[in-house]
Amino acid sequence: MDPSWTFAVARADLGQSALVDGTTAVPSDGEALLRVDRVGLSANNVTYAVLGDAMRYWEFFPPGPRGLGPQWGLPPLWGFAEVVASTVAGVEVGQRVYGYLPPAGHLLVRPDRVDASGFRDASPHRADLPSPYNAYRSTGADPAYRPDQEDLLILFRPLFFTSFMLADQVSDNGFHGAESLLLSSASSKTAYAAAFELHGRGPRLVGLTSPGNVAFTRSLGCYDQVVSYDDIGALDAVASVYLDLSGAPSTRAALRRHLGDLLVRDIAVGLTNQTPNADAAEEVFFAPVQMRKRSQDWGRDGLDRRFAEAWRRFTAVADGWLDVQEGVGPEALRHAWLDVLAGRTPPRVGHVVQL
């Protein structure tokens, strides 16, 4: 079996990191061992670390069993892993799964609710953590999976789920009667995937972004207008909904000054139900809430089918919006982490590491 290793960052200084060798766990009854194979690294993963204490992201992969002290944390990653040992019926050696993974060579899981679609990790330390992060989906039964699109799934899927449900909720509410939808952090994958879903379905879509990202954001073609944060005063004074993906107080203040009562909705978009800009916004969008509603409306199979259809539409164009920068091995993972942390990764670039 492959030797194990762990990449950790100092919780008090995310630029300080360590690569630690370790022993590979042997599954006990009711457990399976996953070999982490291919993962992505983006600003989303840095957000998990920045909010690691407040949102409990550090708790998914505790460092203690890996021989590291509590001052260290393992930033969660999304990607693919393979089952290399299992004592659980239905979780077979060689099975490939997609899910939430540690920056490490292996992950020991306790599979529960096993079926053709995959399983959930029922390890005790994850029992009261947000359930969407505990699911491991088998590639063999995933309607959105294509072997030649693994990198797109790695880099976009967690964000696209939020984007898909955000677009659905806004349209489900009649766009709140707005003539314009304003999305901050418009060059981010979550924002432009939502814009792609919404484009042509109702209100005018306006992307708000930093001056340096205006050209890239315009090149995507999924916004009707792209405006620099410095030019908010030039926006049309019409009934508008603000979808805040940046959390920048200055952007919200500028919009409120310029639009006044024409800002009919101010929605903070969060990957969790506690997002840093929640207090300043009028409401918070949390994808699992809309997911539960649509699971009741459409059934889980119906939701999965609609997601897969939206994903196919998106990937037909998104491949042209992304330059994958591939690395190999734990040291490449460290370099990708430091690049993203320092903000050196252009919006077109996505880091994927083959481990």
- What are the tens digits of pLDDT across the range 203-234? 999 999 999 999 999 999 999 999 999 999 99
Output the pLDDT for position 43: 84
Fold category of 158-292 in CATH: Rossmann fold (3.40.50)
Spatial separation of the C-alpha atoms in residues 93 and 237, rounded to whole Å:
59
The pLDDT of residue 108: 97
Q: What is the chain's mean pLDDT, rounded?
A: 92
152, containing H or E segment: helix 150-172
pLDDT band at 273 (very low <50, low <70, confident <90, very high): very low
CA 57/CA 126 separation, integer angstroms: 10
Domain ranges of the chain: 4-142+322-354, 158-292
pLDDT at 279: 65
Q: What is the DSSP letter of 296?
A: H
Task: Say if residue 40's pLDDT is above 50.
Answer: yes
Beta bridge partners of 208: 227
Q: Do domains 4-142+322-354 and 158-292 have the same CATH topology?
A: no
Structure confidence at residue 272 as a pLDDT band (50, 70, 90) = very low
**pLDDT at residue number 194:** 96
| Residue 264: per-residue pLDDT | 96
pTM: 0.86
Count CA atoms within 13 Å of residue 350 on its CB side.
22
CATH number belonging to domain 4-142+322-354 = 3.90.180.10
Q: Is the pLDDT assigned to residue 38 strictly greater than 80?
A: yes
What whole-number distance in Å separates Cα of residue 283 and Cα of residue 179?
19
